[in-house]
Structure 1
């Protein structure tokens, strides 16, 4: 084998080894359990009800913008959900709001972004996805909806059966966040171990064997679906750092000019990112000199679009509506990157 290829492979494995040592135990494992709990113990039907024709506009847009956290959807599962709510009369505004926001605020995506790329980018990704998704939805509704019709109020979801799920969510989130707050191992373990024991106890106290089995099944499904692709992404991200000259990255997506944000947004839209793989790839590019503004543009456009995704969206909505949505995503992703870079340039850090 060519010595250079051997070297690149060794670089990829070194990147993978470093990743496994730093991020699996305190980041990915708790995040998978959290996402699995959300997917199995929260009712998707209760959330999707808010997109119906009888839902008030302010309710449907608000729920559409944040429901990705509760539904735990990724870029592969958002399309059939979008098709379902769109065909059932959700309206193009709330439907496209959900389509853009849901993959970007997947709880795994936000946690992983914050852990790997920094809390400033993690928070910016979540806030931008929520805010700009509503902008996209309202724009699509303004352009294409001619008959809004009269909408009736609906019952809010907050039944007793969801109360324990919410508390479990808080406990799992605490397990995930504590290692970031308490960096000393001794102090962290004094808090982390009791939290884990309490979570195990309440899981048996509050939930049936069938519900726990569903939770574990969803968690294992996410592990099987995401981990192999994620490890491949980390492997090739290490090789990217070795292959791409840093000066090219600085020149084209360094964030020094408006073109950097357009390039970042368009290139992310054309690429296919499996769930979470955008994070190690963008992390590798930031090591080479990509600015945080273009990085945010990629984080927003990447999960929302890809070439296969664009084809499916255009088939569901029609070519004119699909192309309008795609153009809006590219524009708002680039705009969010510019605003975030300006925010950081003013010396305000999260």
Structure 2
């Protein structure tokens, strides 16, 4: 590989990064970070986790397990200690594995970013499929490994009260987040969108100062800054290398393995996603690059489902927490379900 070619690849990666920063940061990523920070600081995790205990009916624990990722704002790494905690403290393997599968997949940042970059069909399919199938995974795991009589302990929580106005600010931030996309779909020019969006930001700031104390605002900004520091460098690296991948990877190779919508292409995509390590959001630019090279919609969804739920480090930890037999059953179920879901989605949208 010559120096000129390396220089060319670097310039391609930088160009991809420049385009990304121009198109997606101001009106997409920053509002999403503020939303995720608000969820992490203003919604009580304890108020969610208490529903996994023995006192909660199964239909409640499974429902909360399937949707709580939206409120907990966890990624594939931070979900593991939460999963270990609720599993060891008596949640039962069914609700615990439902939570383990669903929570990273419906991280509010991931869903919004997927919809913005890959399309609202894939964003909605990712959220809906993850919620629905996480319950199926949990029920199968419970059927396989929970006896007819299973002792479940109460999960101790510390009674942390949810902050006032947390729901209201959640709705306001969602409006700020989706407004540019709506205005764009209505044919509004970028300048007009910006002139409408800026007053919305001002109103959001005004309401935030009105509704929340100094300590609450500091906590919110602290969580937002933590997410920005943790995710942004890896995300930008992902965008940089995804831009290079479009040039380096032969289209024929991508089309041969994950193009179209066969069960084989979906299975390969699921297995690849399971073994790759995706930091939060980095799967999106990588899959975007692969779609430009011919990756099908079905395999894209399969990787979106298997990628955040599993990685090689994740699988090692899961096997240690649950034991090898249960851990491998869970891993196999995720790959199988991601494969079938991708195939069905591909059939529906071809």
User: Aligning the two structures, in what range does the TM-score lie when normalised by the shorter sequence?
Assistant: over 0.9
Tell whether the 8 Å contact from 2:275 to 2:310 is kept in structure 1 after alignment: yes
Contact 1:93 1:138 (8 Å CA) reproduced: yes
**TM-score (normalised: structure 1):** 0.94
Within 5 A, what are the aligned runs for 1:157-168?
161-168=162-169
Alignment of 1:200-239 (within 5 A): 200-239=205-244
Partner of 2:281: 276
Deviation digits for residues 35-94 of structure 1 (CA, Å, limit 9, x no counterpart): 000000000000000111211000000000000000000011000000000000000000
2:308 paired residue among 286, 295, 303: 303
Whole-angstrom distance in 1 between the partners of 2:81 and 2:119: 31
Could you report, residue by residue, the CA deviation over 1:303-330 in whole angstroms, capped at 9, with x for unpaired residues?
0001110000000000000000000000
Could you tell me how far apart the structure 2 residues matched to 1:37 and 1:343 are? 36
TM-superposed deviation, 1:160: 8.6
Summarize deviations over 1:200-225 as a string: whole Å, max 9, x none: 11111111100000000000000000
2:345 is equivalent to residue 340 of structure 1: yes
1:196 counterpart = 2:197: no
Show structure 1 runs of 5+ residues with no match.
346-350
SS at match of 1:61: helix
In structure 1, the residue matched to 2:84 is: 83
Separation in 2, partners of 1:16, 1:161: 39
Give the alignment's TM-score, normalised by structure 2. 0.94
Shift of residue 152 of structure 1? 11
Query: CA deviation digits over 1:172-230, x for unaligned, max 9?
Result: 00000000000223542454233212211111111110000000000000000000000
CA distance in 2, matches of 1:221, 1:139: 36
**Of 104-113 and 2-11, the range deviating more from structure 2:** 2-11
Separation in structure 1 between the aligned mates of residue 248 and residue 48 of structure 2, nearest angstrom? 45
Say whether residues 1:136 and 2:137 are aligned partners.
yes
Answer whether contact 1:56 1:153 (CA < 8 A) is retained: no
Matches of 1:99 and 1:177, distance apart in 2? 28
Once residues 152 and 319 of structure 2 are traced to their aligned partners in structure 1, the CA distance between those partners, rounded to angstroms, is 27
Match status 1:326 vs 2:337: no
Alignment partners' CA distance in 2, 1:69 and 1:161:
15
Asked if 2 retains the 8 angstrom alpha-carbon contact of 1:270 and 1:305, the reply is yes
Q: For residue 348 of structure 1, what is the aligned residue in structure 2?
A: none
CA distance in 1, matches of 2:149, 2:27: 47
Per mean C-alpha deviation after superposition, the further-off stretch among 193-202 and 212-221 is 193-202
- Distance (Å, rounded) in 1 between the aligned partners of 2:102 and 2:119: 20
Q: Would the aligned equivalents of 1:61 and 1:94 in 2 still touch at CA under 8 Å? A: yes
- Tell me, in whole angstroms, the C-alpha distance in 2 between the residues paired with 1:336 and 1:148: 32
TM-superposed deviation, 1:343: 1.3
SS of corresponding position for 2:165: helix
Report how far residue 150 of structure 1 moved.
8.0
**In the alignment, what sits opposite 2:9?**
8
Q: Secondary structure at the match of 1:182?
A: helix
> Is the 2:54–2:154 Cα contact (8 Å) retained in structure 1?
no
Distance 1:289 1:30 in 2: 31
Offset at residue 147 of structure 1 (A): 4.1
1:317 and 2:318 aligned: no
RMSD between superposed Cα atoms in Å: 1.8
* 1:230-269 equivalences in 2 (<5 Å): 230-269=235-274
Question: 1: distance between equivalents of 2:64 and 2:109?
Answer: 19
Instruction: Note the C-alpha offset of 1:241.
Output: 0.6
Structure 1 Cα separation of the partners of residues 162 and 227 of structure 2: 24
Secondary structure of 2:124's counterpart equals helix
CA-CA distance at 1:166 after TM superposition = 0.3
